[in-house]
A and B are shown apart, each in its own frame.
Chain A
Amino acid sequence: MALLSLKNISVAYGKNVVLKNLNLDVEKGELVSLLGPSGCGKTTTLRLIGGFVEAKNGRFVFNGKDYTKIPVHKRNFGFVFQNYALFPHLTVFDNVAFGLKQRNIPKNEIKKRVMEILETVGLKDYADRSPRELSGGQKQRVALARALVIQPDLLLLDEPLSNLDAKLRVKMRLEIRKIQQEYNITAIYVTHDQEECFSISDRVAVMNNGVIEQLDTPQKIYNLPRTEFVANFVGFENFIELELEAKERGGGGFYKLKNGQRFKVTHFNGREYERYVKGAIRPEEIDILNEGGGKETNTLKGIIGISTFLGKHYQYVVETEVGRLLVNGSAHKRYEKGERVTLYFPEDKIVLV
């Protein structure tokens, strides 16, 4: 049984519905990320689990118990905030010790545990400092130590790295992941940064408009998105309308485009029983051939439009009979505006959504 489950949770602020019948199961020891654009409900979901937001409908079950109505301070969840939220009037030591003091733990035990956790996050020598004297990364480490020292049943992280600079973010996310695995803590991590999310998570829940569009491993989310929104979010910029014509014996099938052209697609991605689907493909997976080049199927003729230099490659807007497509081409050769080309769509790179 899952350690944590949200069952048909709805949250609304007045008439503004933020979460709609949300369901989520998290296993013990897992790190699950909530990923999505701002306003998708990811932070609300986290705050609901933490107890700061009340559900209008639905239940939150944790470790077999109904936690829906349990007040925040009785939940024993560690919370790490985006802006660190350290107590400015207390030293690093007292910040970390705060949660233990609430639990009436003897003084020497508190001291031992605080120093232990400060050592883990590499701030042993900073115990007597005031939070004002710390850098952003150090502050976030203190916040992490403060949340971990109470041995929480669940660790909740709300965009913990978004106030740090890029290099530090990479370093800190590795540390967070290491500590999470070392302590075998179940964690929920909210972020809008894809790379951060994929690198740190066991599973990712991509959210949009208050619902979870897909909950899967980072690899699955990245390679085999299940919905158009997820596909778009992870970088599939092109969507081509397809109609199923014939299935192949060994898997995959033939699809007809709006202009009559045929595409072969290797994987159904669970859509083998749907007649009308969309084929999603990343700009970098489309090959540009000179006009009239080779193959019959999986090609489209097009005219090069605007081009942008992106460093590793050029990106072109290509006008085709089925609409505008974004295509990346080699940085060595630049196609001119108005040039006629043939685009080739490898059959195993098309993801049906």
Chain B
Amino acid sequence: MFALLVYLFLIIPLIIITGAAFGTDEYLRFPPQGFSLKWLANIFEVEMFVRTFKISLEIAVLGTVLALLVGIPAAYGLSRYDFVGKNFLQGFFLSPVLVPGIVFGFSLLNFLIIKYEMPVYTSLLIGHTVIIMPYIIRVISSSLENFDYSIEEAAISLGASKVKTFFVIVLPNITSGVIAAFILAFINSFNNVPVSIFLTGPGISTLPIQMMSYVEYYFDPTIAALSVVLMVMTIILMFIIEKTLGLSYFAK
């Protein structure tokens, strides 16, 4: 019974948003009056939505890939070896989630854009890569925790070099972790506001930032329609994962 209430609490706003998105009114209203797809169509009318959506997608994909390239070896090193300063390094890698996003975003603005005069796009990419790194390292580390390193030793004893062993033995056994890390990081990057807000500039913005600024001026259901689109996208993504890997990968 309680579980049902919690479930309702979570699902009702989504239902309201969905309903409002297809209404005919000029403002958000539930239950909706009539049915129209004009707000849905309006998303594509607002050119900035289309552009920022592309940028968000690019940043999320590129940032996640970069963070994986750094994060996987880092997680491996942290879990495989004991060395002086390991705890410090672990804390250091996780610090971006501990520091408030606003503070982090502001310091990146000061540092990258003002001091080093980097292009906005590059700074945005760097900011996102850093902010999602902890998720990557956390998820990969936990899947490496279950990894039996004698398997790695077995491969090396059979004549594979260390690097080769990493690619043909270690990596295939943590694929689920890598995919989970990718998705978690992707979603975090795509949704990020506090860091993005400082690192956007003329012509370059991300979708969440654009949505915020849109809501400041307009209160029509376009935003609701856009939310529905994002929701559907997430569902499709989850559906594909479920079909190819099974969601149980995330439960592990």
Contact = CB atoms under 8 A, between A and B. Distances in A.
A79 B153 CA distance: 9
Contacts, number: 60
Contacts of B156: 72-73
Nearest to A47: B153
A115 interface: no
A214 B155 CA distance: 33
A160 interface: no
Contacts of B251: none
A84 B164 CA distance: 21
B157 interface: yes
B: contact size bracket: 10 to 19
A82 B150 CA distance: 9
A52 interface: yes
Contacts of A52: 153
A228 B217 CA distance: 90
A128 B156 CA distance: 23
Contact of B173 (A73, A83, A88, A99): A88
Determine the main DSSP class of B at the interface with A: helix
Given A87-B169, A88-B173, A73 B150 contact: no
Interface string B125-161: 0000000000000000000000010110111111111
A102 B167 CA distance: 13
Contacts of B150: 81-83, 85
Interface core residue of A73, A82, A98, A99 (most chain B CB under 10 Å) = A73
B159 A89 contact: no
Contacts of B154: 79, 81, 85-87, 143, 146
Nearest to A82: B150
A150 interface: yes
Given A87-B169, A89-B172, A89-B173, A72 B157 contact: yes
A103 interface: yes
Give the 10 A-B residue pairs with the shortest CB-CB distance, closest first: A99-B158, A102-B159, A79-B157, A85-B150, A85-B154, A89-B172, A81-B150, A72-B156, A85-B151, A73-B156
Given A99-B158, A103-B159, 18 more contacts: A52-B153, A72-B157, A73-B156, A73-B158, A73-B160, A73-B161, A73-B162, A78-B157, A79-B154, A81-B153, A82-B150, A85-B148, A85-B151, A87-B151, A87-B154, A89-B172, A147-B158, A150-B159
Interface of B: 148, 150-151, 153-162, 164, 169, 172-173
13 contacts: A73-B157, A73-B159, A75-B157, A78-B157, A81-B154, A82-B150, A83-B148, A85-B148, A85-B154, A87-B169, A98-B155, A103-B159, A147-B157
Interface of A: 50-52, 72-79, 81-83, 85-89, 98-99, 102-103, 143, 146-147, 150
